[in-house]
Amino acid sequence: MATKLDHNSLYSLEEYSKLRADFRARVLEHKKHRRLSLGDHVMLHFEDSLTMQYQIQEMLRIEKIFEAEGIQDELDAYNPLIPDGSNWKATMLIEYPDVNERKVALAQLGGIEHEVWVQVGGHERVRAIADEDMDRTTDAKTSAVHFLRFELQADMIAALKSGESLTVGISHPNYNLDGLQVPELVRESLIADLD
C-alpha cells in the first residue's frame, strides 16, 4: 500500500539538488508500469507515494519553497492523490496535439471522466469517482486533466491478488473503448497499491 507523505519523506532543497538526476531516473522507470493508454487520446497515470514525492520535490525546487508552512501546503495538495489501500488514484490526460482539434474534442467529451471504468475478472465494473476537489467539466467543455479514484471491494482485491485479469474502458458516446486488458507489469504495479 502506498503511504502518505510527510516532512520526513522529503529531501531538503540542497539534498534534492544533489540527488535529482538519479531520483528522476528512478521515478521515470517506475512510472513506465503505472501508465495506461486508453485509445489514441486518453492516458491514465496511476499515482502512488513515489510519483507524488517526485511531484512535490519538483514543486518545492521550482518554487524554491523551504519553509515548513509552504512544504505542508504541497503535502496537503498532493497527499490526496496517493491511494489508500482499497483504491487506485489516477491522473487522466486528454491529449490532442493540434490545438483546434483539442478544442473540438474537449467540447464533445463532457463527462468523460465519469465514464472511465475498471473491471476485475467477472466482477462488476467500477466507475471512476472523478475530480473530488473541484468540477472540471462545464456545459461547454471538459478539462484536459482529471483526477480519478477507483474504489475496489475486498473480493475484487482478493481476486486480483489470486490472478484475475484487469480490464479498463471508457463508455462515453464520443469516446468508447471497451475492455482493454491491462498489461501484466502494470497490473502487478497496481496490485502493490492494495492492502
141-178, pLDDT tens digit by residue?
899 999 999 999 999 999 999 999 999 999 999 999 99
Report pLDDT for 141: 87
Is the pLDDT at 32 greater than 60, yes or no? yes
Q: Three-state DSSP class for 126?
A: strand
- The DSSP letter of residue 116 is E
Q: Are 126 and 117 in contact (CB under 8 A)?
A: yes
Residues 6+ apart with CB under 8 A from 153: 123
Instruction: Express as a percent the part of the chain with pLDDT over 90.
Output: 91
Cα 14 to Cα 20: distance, rounded to the nearest angstrom: 10
Is the pLDDT at 2 greater than 70, yes or no? no
Q: If you average pLDDT over residues 4-26, what whole number do you get? A: 96
Residues 6+ apart with CB under 8 A from 75: 5, 6, 7, 56
Question: What confidence tier does 131 reach under pLDDT thresholds 50, 70, 90?
Answer: confident
Is the pLDDT at 1 greater than 60, yes or no? no
85-116, pLDDT tens digit by residue?
999 999 999 999 999 999 999 999 999 999 99
Question: What confidence tier does 136 reach under pLDDT thresholds 50, 70, 90?
Answer: confident
Question: What confidence tier does 137 reach under pLDDT thresholds 50, 70, 90?
Answer: confident
Extended strands (E) in 10-115: 35-38, 42-46, 87-94
Q: Are 149 and 143 in contact (CB under 8 A)?
A: no
Is the pLDDT at 127 greater than 70, yes or no? yes
